[in-house]
A = this chain, B = another copy of it.
């Protein structure tokens, strides 16, 4: 596992942390109000800099952080602080909300479970929302915002009748909803692991358990501040967040709390599995030792008897008795049987 990448490099200086990824930057522009909806993919960011129209909500979505110039141009157009710019390009921020008088800057993590590698990928989603616009920046293209786009197409939807605060809520809601999908998959994996563990505890399973534990720690680290972010947003007064949107934010807040409880629940499950693993290992040792002890308890004493009857003393009258041989075998059987029964009764073996 790459420990370093998980905990992130030092804060960079306006150099995109995403350089290695070669996906091209995709920009889409959506403008809407109750009556109209205009949606287009744009090639150059300049196409988005239309004259402001207070009757329309403008949503610019950018997928990919490879081209700092694009982000910088937007920042200049919307008069966004240099530190926001840096945070957008450094994709290892922790979720947070920064309140700049004119706009709000929100950082969230979009989480996706990669079943092949059995690990969770976290991608940064930055939102900047002002009175009439929402800028969203994702590390790479994904379908996480599609439900929002679909709902926008319905002219009767609440979103079309609301302002940019509701759009921001809808984007956050889409991200948090995705967490549940991920947890369903992690839950399945925990179930599988539990069955394997009961079947046979191997070191491989121990490592899987530790990987899952590490994943959950990563998730807790990613989701915990989201709760705070949404709680902060809820407290904002109108007109920044309207009363009706506040009710919806409370709903997202409840979802986040449930996600965190699920994480804690999984954490407890995994701790229990570790206990069971350790108990199983020591039970195995007990079983092995019991076998050894049974074998030794039965055979060591009677082997001693064969030794006695194998001694070469001249005057061993016992060796000449007629039924000495079968008698000795019977004696051995009795000794073995007695020891076996005796120790079993004492519940020692």
Contact = CB atoms under 8 A, between A and B. Distances in A.
Contacts of A299: 300-301, 303-304
Contact of A306 (B194, B210, B289, B310): B310
Q: Could you say which interface size class chain A belongs to?
A: 35 or more
Contacts of A92: 258
A266 B217 CA distance: 11
Contacts of A278: 279, 282
A316 to B, nearest CB: 5
Contacts of A257: 94
A349 B281 contact: no
A348 B315 contact: no
A183 B7 contact: yes
A254 B93 contact: yes
A6 B265 CA distance: 9
A266 B83 CA distance: 27
Given A4-B191, A283-B281, A276 B315 contact: no
Contacts of A194: 1, 3
A31 interface: no
Across the A-B interface, the 10 shortest Cβ-Cβ residue pairs: A306-B307, A10-B180, A309-B311, A4-B187, A313-B325, A292-B293, A7-B262, A303-B304, A310-B310, A299-B300
Interface of A: 1-4, 6-11, 81, 83, 86-87, 92-94, 96, 98, 100, 177, 180-181, 183-184, 187-188, 190-191, 194, 200, 203, 206-207, 210, 213-214, 217-218, 221, 247-248, 250-251, 254-255, 257-258, 261-262, 264-266, 268-269, 272, 274-293, 295-297, 299-316, 318-320, 322-325, 328-329, 332, 339, 343, 347-349
Given A4-B188, A290-B348, 13 more contacts: A3-B269, A4-B184, A6-B265, A10-B177, A11-B180, A83-B248, A213-B268, A278-B282, A289-B293, A306-B310, A308-B332, A313-B319, A314-B319
